[in-house]
Amino acid sequence: VNLDIFDIMGRKIQRIVNEEQASGFYRINLSTNNIPSGIYFARLQAGRDSKTIKVTVMK
C-alpha cells in the first residue's frame, strides 16, 4: 500500500505510507506543519487499485 501527497503541479511532496497492510479500515493523520496552504491530492494505491482525492490545506 502506498499513500502519497502531490501538489497541484503533480509533484510528489510526501509519502505517508509505503508498506504491506492487511485488509481492513485504517485512519491516517497527516501533519500539515511543513505544508503551505493550498490544494493537494492524496493518492492511495493498493495492488492494481488506486484512488485519488483532493485535499485543501488552510492555515
pLDDT at 29: 87
Q: Walk across the sheet containing 49-57 and list its strands.
A: 12-18, 2-7, 38-46, 49-57
pLDDT at 17: 93
The number of helix segments (H) and strand segments (E) in the chain equals 0, 4
pLDDT at 30: 86
**What pTM was computed for the model?**
0.85
What's the number of CA atoms in the CB half-sphere (13 Å) around residue 43?
16
Tens digit of each residue's pLDDT (9 = 90 or more) over 3-56: 999 999 999 999 999 999 998 999 988 889 999 999 999 999 999 999 999 999
Distances (CA, A) of 3 to 16, 26, 59: 5, 12, 23
How far apart are the C-alpha atoms of 1 and 41, rounded to whole Å?
Answer: 16
Domain boundaries, the chain: 2-57
